[in-house]
Structure 1
Amino acid sequence: MSTAESTGDESLYPIAVLIDELRNEDVQLRLNSVKKLSTIALALGVERTRNELIPFLTETIYDEDEVLLALAEQLGNFTKLVGGPEFVYCLLPALESLAQVEETVVRDKAVESLRTISHQHSTADLESHFVPLVKRLASGDWFTSRTSSCGLFAVCYPRCNDKLKAELRVNFRNLCQDDTPMVRRAAASKLGEFAKAVGSEHLKSEVIPMFVELAGDEQDSVRLLAVEACVSIASLLPQADTEALVMPTLKHCAEDQSWRVRYMVADHFTELQAAVGPEITTVDLVPAFQSLLKDCEAEVRAAAAQKVKDFCQNLAPATRETQIVTNILPCVTELVSDANQHVKSALAGVIMGLSPILGKNNTVEHLLPLFLTQLKDECPEVRLNIISNVDCVNEVIGIQQLSQSLLPAIVELAEDTKWRVRLAIINYMPLLAGQLGVEFFDEKLNQLCMTWLVDHVFAIREAATLNLKKLVEKFGAEWAQNGVIPKVVAMARDQNYLHRMTCLFCINVLSEACGPEMTVKLMLPTVLGMAGDRVANVRFNVAKTLQRMGPILDSSVAQTQVKPVLDKLNTDTDFDVKFYASEALAGEAF
């Protein structure tokens, strides 16, 4: 493709530059040019794009990975630029080359683009151009081409004639039996979608044997991917066939010697449960789930523990309660005192969800002791996971039965030596307040919230201030007037200037929540009194607080009470105090 031709017309000169940059030694220039390929193609027109640009790109496919990645992505959106679906096949040679390169990311992007343009082929073009490409890749010398081919079978199979379908099934079976583990891995990862494409006609005779073979592969990295395919295959088969053809292999996977395979079974357990139906679940999956909950590897137990709630939810309603109490709860009870904190934490995140499933009596009898054990767990994350899901249990049994044991755990977390733990419990306080009610909160937790305001970590004091605002929004301004504002105002006389500043921060948020009347009556006098504080940081925060209050104050109050104080601060010896006072005076209220 000659540059001279492109520069014949002056309007094409920038295009000529882009084309030259495709050959440039500088990788960044080549990358920029590849990203603008659609511009080049539009300028050249569909015919020259097909006859010159695409062949040129195909010939120069050997480049840096980032350039090839950009090229693979661009070609997936090139259908219109080569003349529409009628000519889309001319993009295949370039993408075929890209699907064989060594870098995985480039190959994956090329396969993604091939999958996109496969739908734009007519049936005739698909059979004469796309399917031969899939076969070439599937029988390539290098494993890279064979792995790429695995992702293309499902997109072309449904539209092929019977003869080609038979050939594609043979090709895919060969890939499942390939000598290279990477190829078998790729085949296993795509077996599920290929099974859906093949449909029921050849599922039992051809796809199931492939699945059984991959699930028994010598490499655990292949076997664990076969578990994913099991979900798709089971959902396509009648129940009797699932029981006979799939379940023996699945049960074997659940007891596999490799923990990674067992982990994959645990991770996909609820999907498998939905695919096989309630009857097979009761007979086969409940025992398998029990063994996964008791697995010797913590990662497997944690994955299974995360599925406890969903698994129990999806059991057959008629026998659900009996199954849970008889088979699942004994395993859950063991996990509550598991040696691994990740297992306990995973369980704590879902165990409260069993309460609505089992109802009030079973919750009190069986679950409440487990909740209380976890509330006393040495791991803060376990305790937090329980507290954050208290609302599930509250709906079933009411908060009073929980509160006696809940409170010690909250107090312990609130005083934890790690400030992040204290921060987390502060964030849950509005949720708990809503569940416990104002009387219980005032009696047990109000003082705790005030204590956080004088914590030695600023992040805790800041979060405690916001917490107060949320509590006032929940319980109302009258509650704030009686229980919070007097304590906040008292902090203005604290010896520690940081606590006096926290008082101002609290007033900032409380004035928004309580409204102008209460602000002027109860909080404004305190702020004005602090304008003479001996610490400059406090004085300039007084100016900032008055600036925030300005919009909600009556104009007479602003002029007669607030403005004189700001005028005085504006003549302060400290530069920062003067700056913030002048900022406040510039506001509309003054």
Structure 2
Amino acid sequence: MGADAISADANLDFTEFDSEGLNALEKIYLFSRSRASFHRVFILHALPRYLDQMSSEDAVEYVLPLLNGLALDEDEAVQEALACQLVNIIWWFITHCQVVEDERISQLVEALDTTPQPDEHHQTSDEADATQLSVQAFTPILGTLLLSQNALVGTPARNAVVELLKRIWHADEREAGRPAHPLADDEMQRPDYDMGFLQRPERRLFEHELVYQVVIGMGRLDLPDTDEGPLSTMSTPRSIGEYNHSISESQSLEYPMQTPPGPDTSTAGSTPLAVPTGNAHDSYFPAFSSIHPTPAPATSPSGHLASVADERRTVEVATPPTFQLNFPPPSPRREAGVNTPTPGGSSPLRTTPPAPLPHPVAAQSAPAMSTEATMSLDDYFSQISPESDDVINSDVSPQDMEVYIEEGRDIGEEAAMGRLSSMSLMAAVTASGTCGLTEETKNAFVTEVERVGRDPVYWVRREAAFAVGALAKVVPDEVVTSSLLPLFETLYQDPTWHVRHSVLFALPAILSRLPAHRRRSLALSVILPLASDNSPTVRSAVLESLGEVLDAFHGDPYGPPQELLNIFLGVRDGHVRPIQLQDEQPQSAAPPSAGPSSESSFSSNISSKDGFNTHDIYEDPARPLVCAFNTPAVALTLGSSRWPELRPLYRSLARNPSFKVRRTLAASIGEIAKIIGSEHAKEDLMDVWWSSLDADESEVRLKAIECAATFVGALERPLRREVMRRLAEAFTTQRLKGWREREEVVKNLPSLLTISDLEEEVLRDLFMRALGDRVSAIREAAISVFPAFVRAWQAVPQWVNQLRSEIRALARSDAYRERTTFVTCEQSLLDSGHRDFIILDDEYFEILSLLAQDTIVDVRIRAARLLGTISDIYGNGPQSTVMSQVLKLTTPLLQDNSQDVRAFAAAVHARGVRPRSLAPAHSTHSVATFSRPPPPTPS
């Protein structure tokens, strides 16, 4: 890098950036133009915070063009930072600015959104004065990041698209007054984000852009644009290879930035691997006669940026040369079902199935598929030599032709990467937005998957198979049978093992939507040949998916096919003739990562050259673990009456020495007991339970305890007491060596209290031992379940009285830890609304008097706060008996040596200031609850 290549920006003194002379906008501008990549990474992470310190006009005029350049940064760490902050950045812009589009697209979106709008959504004077933001403003940035083969860039970018759509759909549900869709087990409650200017019309506009220009548009980077379709305006920045903005090449620190171009009506080549022809510019790679630099922000008191802007007024970038190449025409398979999804009335979506497809059972039976599937992108372009007669411009030199071919290869590979990203996005959006997807969007996704599912690049077809599985769960049954099923039948016979592997995880979704006879036929047609597949990865995937496949027959009066059940059970009744498919050589470089959806949980990453492995599906090393994992699903499908068919397999798994197998069996023992009934559970599960409880590995013991309540509830009544007694014995004798296991036992107590025929003494003794445990986390867990005991036993007075007596005994213990536990238990009852358990008699106030004079300051702090809570609940006035007792006890505390104790006591005497609750009522961490007193009472 020469010294003459460094502009004035590179020599700025960044040590002054923390001075008060620079505002947020200037910091963003200077850091993003720094040649030091860590400066650019820093500013991207800080950008959401800085955006709140500037106006929307400045953000659109100065910051947005900078983001286009940072998306093209040659340092992947910068792109990773941008991808991580993408949701927050985009959300700020679209809620602080009014999203607008050209008149043609606006009319289309209006036609789609026919819902009557409330009066408050009509344009107000504030909306008229709002900064306008093109709906396409972030499409180039998203497109660039989604094309990255770096998983730390592409995956957050895909997640950003999904998250933005989910926020929009959540706002629609909230506005319409519809209840939110049920949350998944691992999903948190979605907050209500401030929508700002993103009202219903703007949401429809931005949703349309994300769905049609990003999710679908990413798969159409090499297809011609039309004025009729909604995908005619897709434009993104060039790839990093096209715009390498290193200092030595750009002769400055100037990044190639541009505002999003307007709708592009030019066309590109018609084949998936085509390059721009003639003088027509590709809509994905728009050619600009000049790229104007980003204007510097308006002058500020510091004046640091005025001279910088003056030096960047006229930077011209040469337009890439146009060229024209003729390529072989696309095969008929590539053209089948290619329709631009148009959600308008003029071009209705096609929902009918595509033309009939050949079924390549073997490579010889489908020459078109074989030819395309086995041809890599490099092979495709290697067929075109510089001396080819097809070259139109015969005066082009061989050296220039090599450049043109290389550029065409890059465009083709980039387009393939776009199709992969499109399929991955469709699968993610479909899985996340069941309630928000319209029928038009679903049909558009189906049409696109039908087209891309016949792609010549195998890793694109592989990702399309995952999209097929996601769509099969949400589209109507007729669409599954007419469109998705024919494509699936082609994919599972694909000559590439990667594709055959991926379709197995879409199979259960397809089966669940078919009628009984079609379901049985398809399951046999797919599983039996692939169980004998040449690839060990495919055979392992058959085992992994077999549980879900068998579960698809749940409720079928005939049950699952016996042939499939035999594979799961390991019964060799006959020899399945292997499918004669020869895996082709690797088509190109290693396929890009498509995210977690493409990964298998059990299969090892075995290359295609290992396809001819000696062991078959019955000897797969992963078989015990896979079968242990899938046993509950298979047992549910077969039902209790057919458990004897599974018994030999389950008993053999129980004898398996593998730690992972035993841990899996321990985790599922409760659900299996519910399925098979008490008689079978007594015969086959008790030994597994005892061995799991006595296992050397803490994880095995923990998994067994986690399902203890479910397991005990499924047993017959005499066994319930035996299991509960031995569990309490293990807790008492420290056979449960880890504190997490004992904590889990305590957390199970509320569920165990609901089971009949359990001995009250065992449960109470277990609870009291937990209150006295030496580990604070276990004591906290016991305090949190104390209200559950009060609720469960309130109908039995003698049990409640016995429990109250034992709790009060803690207050007179010689161990300060137990005295502290008493106060915390009383506080938890008052906070949870179970005040009836507490009897404010003379004995109770005598106990509080002793605790208020305790030598341990922590006990006095907790006692003072408890007195304050009692006064708030029971003290109806200065003359009440309770209030007089509380004031009597807290008066000495006003002179306590501890400032915290004095503060609580003063708050009680003020009576107008309630002691502040420093933790929610449901908190289980009482130490945090009593760590600080309320603020001092104003004098």
What is the distance in 1 between the residues matched to 2:861 and 2:789?
27
User: Residue 349 of structure 1 contacts residue 385 of structure 1 at CA under 8 Å; is this kept in 2?
Assistant: yes
Say whether residues 1:268 and 2:545 are aligned partners. Answer: yes
- TM-fit CA distance, 1:412: 0.6
What is the distance in 2 between the residues matched to 1:195 and 1:141?
34
Correspondence for 1:290 among 569, 581, 586:
569
Correspondence for 2:747 among 427, 433, 436:
427
Alignment correspondent of 1:6: none
Say whether residues 1:567 and 2:891 are aligned partners. Answer: yes
Alignment correspondent of 1:225: 502
Cα deviation, 1:535-561, whole Å, max 9, x if unaligned, reads 343333332222222234355333443
Alignment correspondent of 1:9: none
User: Residue 508 of structure 1 contacts residue 545 of structure 1 at CA under 8 Å; is this kept in 2?
Assistant: yes
Secondary structure of residue in 1 paired with 2:504: helix
Cα deviation, 1:397-440, whole Å, max 9, x if unaligned, reads 543322213321332135333222211111112221221557x1
User: Residue 175 of structure 1 contacts residue 183 of structure 1 at CA under 8 Å; is this kept in 2?
Assistant: yes
Q: 1:122–1:91: structure 2 CA closer, same or farther, 3 Å change rule?
A: farther
Alignment correspondent of 2:836: 515
Alignment correspondent of 1:498: 817
User: Residue 107 of structure 1 contacts residue 148 of structure 1 at CA under 8 Å; is this kept in 2?
Assistant: no
The structure in which a higher percent of residues are helix is 1
Alignment correspondent of 2:456: 174
Say whether residues 1:347 and 2:665 are aligned partners. Answer: yes
Matched residue type, 1:424: E
What is the distance in 1 between the residues matched to 2:662 and 2:33?
58
Correspondence for 2:213 among 110, 117, 138:
117
- TM-fit CA distance, 1:471: 0.9
User: Residue 28 of structure 2 contacts residue 43 of structure 2 at CA under 8 Å; is this kept in 1?
Assistant: no
User: Residue 364 of structure 1 contacts residue 397 of structure 1 at CA under 8 Å; is this kept in 2?
Assistant: yes
Alignment correspondent of 1:249: 529
User: Residue 349 of structure 1 contacts residue 389 of structure 1 at CA under 8 Å; is this kept in 2?
Assistant: yes
Correspondence for 1:325 among 644, 662, 667:
644
User: Residue 345 of structure 1 contacts residue 385 of structure 1 at CA under 8 Å; is this kept in 2?
Assistant: yes
- TM-fit CA distance, 1:306: 3.1
Secondary structure of residue in 2 paired with 1:519: coil
Alignment correspondent of 2:776: 458
Q: 1:410–1:308: structure 2 CA closer, same or farther, 3 Å change rule?
A: farther
Shifted more, 469-478 versus 225-234: the winner is: 225-234
Correspondence for 1:149 among 419, 423, 426:
419
Cα deviation, 1:287-310, whole Å, max 9, x if unaligned, reads 222249997778654444233222
Matched residue type, 2:753: A
User: Residue 563 of structure 1 contacts residue 585 of structure 1 at CA under 8 Å; is this kept in 2?
Assistant: yes
User: Residue 90 of structure 2 contacts residue 138 of structure 2 at CA under 8 Å; is this kept in 1?
Assistant: no
- TM-fit CA distance, 1:174: 1.5
What is the distance in 2 between the residues matched to 1:203 and 1:184?
13
What is the distance in 2 between the residues matched to 1:534 and 1:95?
64
Alignment correspondent of 1:478: 797
What is the distance in 2 between the residues matched to 1:204 and 1:116?
24
Q: 1:215–1:584: structure 2 CA closer, same or farther, 3 Å change rule?
A: farther
Cα deviation, 1:132-155, whole Å, max 9, x if unaligned, reads 689446866244542322354798
Secondary structure of residue in 1 paired with 2:229: helix
User: Residue 570 of structure 2 contacts residue 618 of structure 2 at CA under 8 Å; is this kept in 1?
Assistant: yes
What is the distance in 2 between the residues matched to 1:433 and 1:329?
31
**What is the correspondence of 1:68-107 to structure 2 with a 5 Å cutoff?**
69=83, 81-83=100-102, 86=105, 100-104=147-151, 106=153
User: Residue 79 of structure 2 contacts residue 145 of structure 2 at CA under 8 Å; is this kept in 1?
Assistant: no
Cα deviation, 1:29-63, whole Å, max 9, x if unaligned, reads 68959999x9679989xxxxxxxx99x96999556
Shifted more, 402-411 versus 23-32: the winner is: 23-32
Q: 1:571–1:308: structure 2 CA closer, same or farther, 3 Å change rule?
A: same
User: Residue 624 of structure 2 contacts residue 661 of structure 2 at CA under 8 Å; is this kept in 1?
Assistant: yes
Shifted more, 351-360 versus 182-191: the winner is: 182-191
- TM-fit CA distance, 1:313: 1.8
- TM-fit CA distance, 1:533: 3.1
Alignment correspondent of 1:556: 880
Matched residue type, 1:125: G
Matched residue type, 1:563: L
Correspondence for 2:494 among 183, 208, 213:
213
Matched residue type, 2:492: F
User: Residue 35 of structure 1 contacts residue 71 of structure 1 at CA under 8 Å; is this kept in 2?
Assistant: no
Correspondence for 2:786 among 465, 468, 475:
468
Shifted more, 530-539 versus 134-143: the winner is: 134-143
Correspondence for 1:528 among 825, 845, 849:
849
Shifted more, 57-66 versus 98-107: the winner is: 57-66
Cα deviation, 1:145-174, whole Å, max 9, x if unaligned, reads 4232235479899779x9x999x47x8341
Q: 1:310–1:122: structure 2 CA closer, same or farther, 3 Å change rule?
A: farther
Higher RCO by CA contacts (8 Å cutoff, separation 6 or greater) = 2
Say whether residues 1:488 and 2:502 are aligned partners. Answer: no
Q: 1:99–1:134: structure 2 CA closer, same or farther, 3 Å change rule?
A: farther
Alignment correspondent of 1:4: none
What is the distance in 1 between the residues matched to 2:444 and 2:98?
20
What is the distance in 2 between the residues matched to 1:165 and 1:456?
60
Q: TM-score, normalized by length of structure 2?
A: 0.48
Matched residue type, 1:117: Q
Q: 1:403–1:388: structure 2 CA closer, same or farther, 3 Å change rule?
A: farther
Shifted more, 98-107 versus 549-558: the winner is: 98-107
What is the distance in 2 between the residues matched to 1:392 and 1:60?
52
User: Residue 546 of structure 1 contacts residue 562 of structure 1 at CA under 8 Å; is this kept in 2?
Assistant: yes
Task: Report the RMSD for the aligned CA atoms in angstroms.
Answer: 5.3
What is the distance in 2 between the residues matched to 1:201 and 1:575?
76
Shifted more, 467-476 versus 549-558: the winner is: 549-558
Shifted more, 141-150 versus 512-521: the winner is: 512-521
Q: 1:397–1:114: structure 2 CA closer, same or farther, 3 Å change rule?
A: closer
What is the distance in 2 between the residues matched to 1:191 and 1:516?
58
What is the distance in 2 between the residues matched to 1:354 and 1:245?
30
Gaps of 5+ in 2: 1-22, 107-134, 162-208, 218-224, 235-266, 275-376, 378-407, 427-440, 572-601, 603-616, 915-939
**What is the correspondence of 1:130-209 to structure 2 with a 5 Å cutoff?**
135-136=271-272, 141-142=409-410, 143-152=413-422, 168=451, 172-176=454-458, 185-186=462-463, 189-190=466-467, 192=469, 208-209=489-490
Cα deviation, 1:318-368, whole Å, max 9, x if unaligned, reads xx4453212x22222232343233322322232332334334443444444
What is the distance in 2 between the residues matched to 1:225 and 1:233?
13
Gaps of 5+ in 1: 1-13, 45-52, 177-181
Correspondence for 1:314 among 637, 640, 650:
637
Matched residue type, 2:785: N
Alignment correspondent of 1:448: 766
- TM-fit CA distance, 1:175: 1.1
